[in-house]
Amino acid sequence: MTRTEFEVLNVIVLKGMCRTGALADLLALPEAAVEETVAALGRRDLIGRAGELVLPTDKAEPALVAYAAEAYGDLRSDAESDGLHERFERINAQLLQTMAAWQQIDVGGHKVANDHSDGDYDEKVITRAAKLVERLKRIAGSLGEHDPRFLRYGERFDAALDRVDRGEREYLSSPGLESVHNIWFEFHEDLLRSLGKALTE
């Protein structure tokens, strides 16, 4: 598998299904190059197509795992990598809690959906989330020293947070958008696969 094939397949597996246009946007690659790579992946039976959608086959994930083991061998043996992973999981736990606080408010021990009528509360939660995302970006930055593709997560986080700050609050956790939670969810899986760690939940 070539380097570009790995990057493209990685996103296809993370997304489960996506359009080539979206792949090009996410990877900041020209669409023609993505089309070409997707065709190559198709010939090797790593992806299938359903209309405009590209989907991974059962062979896709094992192929990624094998490539990552090879490509990130030195990263994995780096003493720093365990620390990065631990730090990620710690921030992950806090960020999940922050998302829960965004969605639900504790009322005398009962969880009630946040109706977003309290601006101060919401600002506090967003500020907390933004801080935690800054810390995730630092991890992406450290990984970026080994492989610059991780830096893309930082850019995606910034774009999502900018939208949140402009008042498009759904960019915090909406599953249908390029939201903070979606980016971080993908980053999480990507990081685990790259470092050869198992998902805990």
Tokens of 167: 């008042």
Q: Which amino acid is at 62?
A: P
Distance between CA atoms of 75 and 173, rounded to whole angstroms? 31
Site string for other proteins, 39-78 (x = CB under 8 A): ----------------xx----------------------
92-96: which pairs have CB atoms within 8 A and are 24 or more residues apart?
A: 92/184, 92/188, 94/132, 95/129, 95/132, 95/133, 95/136, 95/184
Binder to other proteins among 52, 70, 131, 141 (CB under 8 A)? 131
Least distance CB 115 / other proteins (angstroms): 5
Nearer to other proteins (CB atom), residue 74 or residue 120: 120
Nearer to other proteins (CB atom), residue 45 or residue 73: 45
Segment contacting other proteins by CB under 8 A, of 10-18, 32-40, 72-80, 148-156: 10-18
Binder to other proteins among 21, 52, 90, 155 (CB under 8 A)? 90
Cα four-point dihedral sign 9, 66, 42, 13: negative
Q: Which residues pair with 112 in a beta bridge?
A: 105
Nearer to other proteins (CB atom), residue 148 or residue 176: 176
Binder to other proteins among 45, 93, 141, 155 (CB under 8 A)? 93
